[in-house]
Amino acid sequence: MPKGYWVSVYRIISDPEKLAAYNKLAGPAVRAGGGRLLARDGRVAVYDAGIAERTILIEFDSFEQAVAARESAAYQEALVALSDGVERDFRIVEGID
């Protein structure tokens, strides 16, 4: 079964305090949903229209598990804390194998 991935690229962080509150809630919510953090805030080489801001990659055992984690009550609470504190591109993508 193909894995699922959360890919989140932050364009603008306008309120670091909201991001910190989100981080406190999102980490446990992601782990409870079966997510494994693969990359966060490491070195990045940016090309084309890329943005060198915060980038997160999280792996789940399946696409369905990734969607369920995003829709969970715990993660929804994290999103409320984040509210308008950032502008980001968030996607859930299905792996090839």
pLDDT of residue 41: 84
Where is pLDDT greater, at 43 or 21? 21
Share the mean pLDDT of the chain: 95
SS3 state at 67 = helix
Which residues contact residue 95 at a Cβ distance below 8 angstroms, ignoring those fewer than 6 apart?
2, 3, 4, 5, 63
The one-letter amino acid at 77:
E
Condensed to tens digits (0 to 9), the pLDDT of residues 18-39 reads: 999 999 999 999 999 999 999 9
How many angstroms separate the CA atoms of 18 and 61, rounded?
A: 29
Residue 50 binned pLDDT confidence (cut-offs 50, 70, 90) = confident
Where is pLDDT greater, at 1 or 64? 64
Give the percent of the chain with pLDDT over 90: 86
Task: Yes or no: say if 46 and 86 are a contact pair by the CB < 8 Å rule.
Answer: no
Condensed to tens digits (0 to 9), the pLDDT of residues 74-86 reads: 999 999 999 999 9
